[in-house]
Amino acid sequence: MKITDQLGNTISLSGFPKKIISIVPSQTELLFDLGLDEEIIGITKYCVHPKHWQESKTKIGGTKKLNVEKIKELHPDIIIGNKEENEKNQVEELMKYFPVWMSDIKTLEDALNMIDSIGKITDKEKSALRIQNDIREQFSHFKLSTSNLKLEPKRVAYFIWKKPFICSGGNNFIDHMLSICGFENVFRKKTSRYPEITIEEIQQANPSLIFLSSEPYPFRKKHIEEFKNICPTAKIVLVDGEMFSWYGSRLLYAPAYFERLLQNL
Q: Are the CB atoms for 253 and 243 separated by under 8 Å?
A: yes
Q: What is the CA 93 to chain-centroid distance, rounded?
A: 23
**Residue environment code for 90-109, b if the CB has 16+ CB neighbours within 10 A, otherwise e:** bbeebeeebbbbbbebbbbe
pTM of the model: 0.95
Number of H helices, E strands in the chain: 11, 13
Asked, colleague to colleague, whether 2-137 and 154-264 share their fold, the answer is yes
> Which CATH number describes the domain made up of 2-137?
3.40.50.1980
The CATH number for 154-264, chosen from 1.20.200.10, 3.20.20.70, 3.40.50.1110, 3.40.50.1980, is: 3.40.50.1980
Residue 50 preceded by cis peptide, ω within 30: yes
- The domain spans of the chain are 2-137, 154-264
Give the Cα separation of 253 and 30 in Å (integer).
13
The full DSSP string for 157-177 is: EEEEETTTEEE--SSSHHHHH
Q: Tens-digit pLDDT profile for the chain (265 aa)?
A: 899 999 999 999 999 999 999 999 999 999 999 999 999 999 999 999 999 999 999 999 999 999 999 999 999 999 999 999 999 999 999 999 999 999 999 999 999 999 999 999 999 999 999 999 999 999 999 998 887 766 677 999 999 999 999 999 999 999 999 999 999 999 999 999 999 999 999 999 999 999 999 999 999 999 999 999 999 999 999 999 999 999 999 999 999 999 999 989 8
The secondary structure element, H or E, covering residue 223 is none
